[in-house]
Amino acid sequence: MKNWIANTKINALLEAGSHNFDGVKARRTLIEYCGRYQEIYPFEILEDPLEFLTNNGKSDNKYRVIRAELRIAAEEYCFSLNEMAEALLELIDTQGLTTEQAKKIINHVFEAFSCNESPEDFIPREDAYLCKNLFAITSG
């Protein structure tokens, strides 16, 4: 997979603020970010996983069902769906993200966007959105 965020402001922000990074808040913000993608390019199979993540799902049984749905979605024929499922799998399995995990998730979402839009269109817009929404997490 291409490193979509290498030359972005969000990458520089995550690097500079890594010592002040709040992985729990970042996780919530990136769940919302995946929801943003879902609003623009919806996949029915991702509705339940996003609802589960958004509502801080705690049920072990529901977790297993949702994780299985995401594994199926990650192996579907649609590449953008695969990328979004991989991002959500990273989020469902971690309560507090590292900066590297955050970058990986963002990169999955950018990869999904690249299936639908040109990089010139989505990177500046999504980079600005993420910088605005993750700034409080990385600033002390």
Give dist(CA 122, CA 120) in Å, integer: 6
User: For 44-81, how does the pLDDT look when each residue is reduced to its tens digit (9 = 90+)?
Assistant: 999 999 999 998 766 778 999 999 999 999 998 899 99
Which residues lie below 8 Å from residue 97, measured CB to CB, with a gap of 6+? 23, 24, 26, 27, 30, 91, 105
Whole-model pTM? 0.93
User: For 101-123, how does the pLDDT look when each residue is reduced to its tens digit (9 = 90+)?
Assistant: 999 999 999 999 999 999 999 99
Nearest to 110 by CA among 129, 135, 96, 94: 129
> Domain locations in the chain?
20-134
Token code pair at residue 132: 């605005």
| pLDDT value of position 29 | 95
Nearest 5 degrees, angle CA 37-CA 19-CA 124? 30
Q: Is the pLDDT of residue 137 over 70?
A: no
Give dist(CA 40, CA 21) in Å, integer: 28
